[in-house]
Structure formats: structure tokens, C-alpha cells
A and B are shown apart, each in its own frame.
Chain A
């Protein structure tokens, strides 16, 4: 079974600053996908960014970017120019690249953006 570890329960960042969330995972698979989901107080799960393991280039979506280190099994999320609307719980998730494509989630990191 795959395990996803998010070691930072809470992070706080000043508006307009940058924050980096860490995520490590354990797998013997070579083909897989990694995701970051955002869960605001409404509790809706919103996909922020995704990374295919076969791609060496780190994914970027506007102010969100990842640092994918396949050998280290690390997948961190950087939020640049933090905005108040970024305040949410962030979950890292792993998906095998074959079979059922179910998601395995980490425990989450609560990010608070201060005005």
C-alpha cells in the first residue's frame, strides 16, 4: 500500500509571501501521479496541481508550483504571492498509474494566510 506523509500540520504565511508545503510518499510503483488538493472551509475538494511521475519537468499552475524529486519520493508545493483566499487545508495525494486510479491522501496541512 502507498503511504503519503505530510509532516507539517499547520503553516502560516504573510499575504504576498511564499510558503512551501512538504509531502513525501512511499511506493514501489514506477508509473504514478501526484496531486495537491485544496480544501477551504466549505470543505469542497479542489484540484490545485498535478504531476505525472514520468515527466521530469515540474508542474506549474499560476502561483502554484511543485518540486518533484522522484528519487527522494518528495513532492512539495510552493504557493507564491499568497492571497487570503489561499487559506485552506492542503492535501497531497498519490495515484497509481494503473488499475483503479484511487487516490491515497496525506493527513493535510492547514495554511493560514495573514493580512
Chain B
């Protein structure tokens, strides 16, 4: 069964450094999402992406964040200058023309 994959599973970085989180959505899916979950809190929407552009973003998704689909398979989330409060689990999700979203296993980001 096709699945969403994410790499790395765990990333440790120092405050102020740039990180890139990678996702490979299910191959025939058209819509892509990033969510984050701070430990012990609920899952929050960050951004949605369709047709090579951002379709919606939350107030969390400020200028430090960017997304890209550099080729036909990868979907990346970049944090330009990480802060301590960016420490969280980051989930990628994708869907086809139907409404059901499929989540990847997540990347745990630790900012020290």
C-alpha cells in the first residue's frame, strides 16, 4: 500500500541554523500539507500546497518558513533560522482529489 515517507525521523539542530525537512507524498496525490505538534499539544496546521504554490498558510507559518516541491516527488519544509520554540514533531500529509489525508510518520525536530 502506498505511503507517505519523511526524512529524517529525528533532527537535532542549534538555534539559528537552517533545517530542511523532507517528505515524499503518495505518487498520484495532488495536495500536500505540513502540520506540527509541539510535545503534549494538539496537531496544528502550518501550510497547504497545490499546483506548485501555497494555497493556504496559518499564522504560525511566518517568513522563517518556506515550502517547495523541487521535483516530481519531494515536498520540503525549510525553517530558515530555527528557534527553541520550533522544537516539535512535523508531519507531512497528502491527498488525491478526495478529502482523505494520509500522514507520514513525522520528523521530530529538536532545537538546542
- Residues of chain B within 8 A (CB-CB) of A44 are 103, 105-106
Q: Any chain A CB within 8 A of the CB of B44?
A: yes
Total A-B contacts with CB atoms under 8 angstroms apart? 54
Contact of B100 (CB < 8 Å), options: A47, A106, A107: A47
Count, chain B residues at interface, CB 8 A: 24
Can you list 15 A-B pairs, Cβ within 8 angstroms, ordered by A?
A33-B99, A43-B89, A45-B91, A45-B93, A45-B106, A46-B103, A47-B101, A91-B43, A97-B99, A100-B56, A101-B95, A102-B33, A102-B48, A102-B56, A107-B41
Interface residues of B (CB under 8 A from A): 31, 33, 35, 37, 41-45, 48, 55-56, 89, 91, 93, 95, 99-103, 105-106, 108
A interface residue numbers (CB < 8 A to B) = 33, 37, 42-47, 50, 91, 93, 95, 97, 99-108
